[in-house]
Structure 1
Amino acid sequence: MTKKPDNPERSARRRRWIVGLVLLAAFLSLALLNLSSWLFLRHMGRYFQRDLAAHLTSVASLSSRLLEAEYYPTPESLQDDVQRSLVRAALLRLQVENDLQAVYLIDRDYRVVLASRPELLEGELLGYLVEDSSAIRQAWQGVPAASTLHVIAGNRFLSAFAPVGLAPSGPAFVLAVEANAAFFDILRVFRRGLVVGSAVSLALLLLFGATLTWSIRALLRAEESLRRRERLAAMGQMAATVAHEIRNPLGIIKGTADVLKQRYGRGQADELFDYIPEEVERLNRLITDFLLLSREPDLKLETVDLGALVERVVKLAEHESAGPVECAVEENLPPVACDPAAVERVLLNLLRNAREACGAEGKVSVAVELESGGRERAVCVAVRDTGPGFPGGEEGKRVFEPFFTTKPTGTGLGLAVAETLVRAHGGRVEARNLPGGGAEVRFCLPV
């Protein structure tokens, strides 16, 4: 049992799905990796903060006991200057021994009583202590507690509070210890590296996606080009055989028509005698177009004044179609290397299509001009008509495909042949609908 050949469109869709799934999987993997990294950093930040808070709470509790054991500070005892100096020295010693940022005593009004650092003035009200009022209230109730994380001038620190001394209404003071949350600097470095890594990985993913997409598109174009060559090769073999088999009887028909005209048509104006040779010539043109599509054109390049060539072909087309064609040629055009016969064939095809599209009452015009874009220069020929224009949607993209036509009696070879001949010259051909109605086909040949 023979295997059914795979549909090219289905194969292309399958490849696009595969590319999409690969990119989606890569994106999801990258997103999952980055999300897990961010969650890990967040978890580590919370873990370090809890650990530092617990450590500071222990330090505050132990330090308050040491102060009580050595100096037992009370509001009355601190009225003595010697006692104040001893307690201040003890606070400084606690700061140094425990690698703290500051150690100080506060009263119930959140004001500094004594501090290890001279920057903390006695009687000063520290604003951020109000934010720690919950932890401080616990300390006044005899329970050591830690504050939330503070950020002041870019400096992150934690505080812990413990009761000190006894008074009739409870503890005499609250001991506050502060430590710099240096671990956040380490986390900040990791966070910055994660941001840079995420940006780089996303850029690499986008580059990978663009490269993969471009590669797939290039592969699809190459496959389409290969299929087209194979199709044209098969058509070429068939066309050569068919052309030989058809042209022989066509030659006989034309010769017979000429003999009949000479024998029976002398002195008689009968269009039947001209009808047969005209139809034979039309069939010969059709066969020639078919052969052009099935093999690479054999061009005979010459240096040509394209403007003069276009004017000559326009006059020929006016005589053939019995309709006027406006022609505008830019002055001082550079010469173009082309095959005059091939360009004539292209232009005649376009003019025939334009006249058929707009009818005898419509308007057909031709413009020849120099196009300069960067390093490339080209002479362009634009054929315009006032007909209904090209179809929209997917059909509009197929106007250069062989055998595609919207006319009931069309062959669909005119634009396909024109594109084949223009591309053989290294040029390009474009088709579009005009804003005010009608259509334009424009081909450009490099200078």
Structure 2
Amino acid sequence: MKKKIVFIAGLLLGVMVSNEILAQESTGKYGSDSITCIQNNSLYYEFYKQWKKSDYKNESWKDALPSWRWVFLNCPKSTINIYLHGEKIMKQLIKMESDKAIRDKYIDTLMMGYDQRIQYFGKEGYALGKKGVDLYKLRPSSYEESYNILKKSVEMQGNKSKGPTLIYYFRSAEKMVKTEKAEKSILLDIYDQSSDIIDYNIKNAKNEKSLKSWENIKGNLELSIEPYANCEDLISIYSPKFENTPNDIELLKKITKKLDKRNCTKSELFFEATENLHKAQPTANSAELMGKMYIKKENYTKAAEYLKESIELCEDDNEKADAHFLLANIYFQLKQYATARTHCYQAVKLRPNNGKPYILIGDMYVATAKSCGNNDLTKTVAYWVAVDKYKKAKSVDSSVAESANTKIKTYSQYFPATETIFFYDLKKGDSYKVECWINETTTVRTSD
């Protein structure tokens, strides 16, 4: 036991002394004793390779340790492998150690390793992410230090941040809130910041494995924020801030974004913040939010005005598509079906892989089927074109397939019977033009 304590104390002392010497002396890559450095590098690496080859199950790491320690202390600039391999070695020591005091020394050394890696090999943001995650996992009581490390990492890395960094950034902040060292609002800020990073990586995933990994991270974060992001919480957090500075642009953006994201758009706070934001700084987004707000109030005419303004101001095709789809829903409510369909087609023109507009067109055909006919046949033909749209929806967008299939099954039962089409001199497979406002050509089918 004494030997272990002496070893650790010597290691830590050696690191501090070595750093001071290296800071003062202009030594080369391999330090003042390059031959011994190269020899020890080679020696520890041979044992490390044996350990790695065993899938880190044999005890070759113990043989690697003395030589690795020498390199770590005496030629820390020689290769980044000192830190990559040292991380594994130190974590193995931590895992094997039952004495808390000694284990803490090992954790300190691991943290020093990250600092030394940054000092000599850069990539500070990335290394800080690993350091913060490991500190939180290995020493949960240091959550405040972990939070500050991870905060800096995410600020530096942005969209290059790793998934675990984002998860433990939130968890460390959560502990800060629970111990009353931070306000609950920081969790919402971190959630928004992390969500943007996650969405970017999902959108730009290079392979299926990466995509699934980021989707899992997203799911984890969504579960984590759930207890803190209900409408009541959000309103209680932001109402006092809004009352103090009702015209603060950044605060207004934050309030409207958060309330909209959590579907808290019926609140008076959302109404007032959105209105103030649009007056002060009219943008496509603020106009869209005004539109959504009036939709909630069922003032569809006013909502349509703002959504048209949003489309005029907007430069992003996806956002334009969203606004067109909202407009389509509004005109559906107003029973202006042809106008609603026009906006659906505008939406799919801007975002061809979106099936929801086709679903809505199908729903409008269903809603007007009987009013568009005057006999047994013409009161049912609209179901043909409705099903056509549902099939189109699932062909371009797998996310709506379940809904589309349900509707196809339901409304196929409303097709005319074989007897009915025979009476009107039609047969299966014939081309047929559906009149009324629909004005589309389809194929004759039967329900039996």
TM-score by length of 2: 0.20
TM-score by length of 1: 0.20
Higher relative contact order (CA 8 A, sep 6+): 1
Q: Which has the higher helix share?
A: 2
Q: Which has the higher strand share?
A: 1
Which protein has the larger Cα radius of gyration, Structure 1 or Structure 2? 1
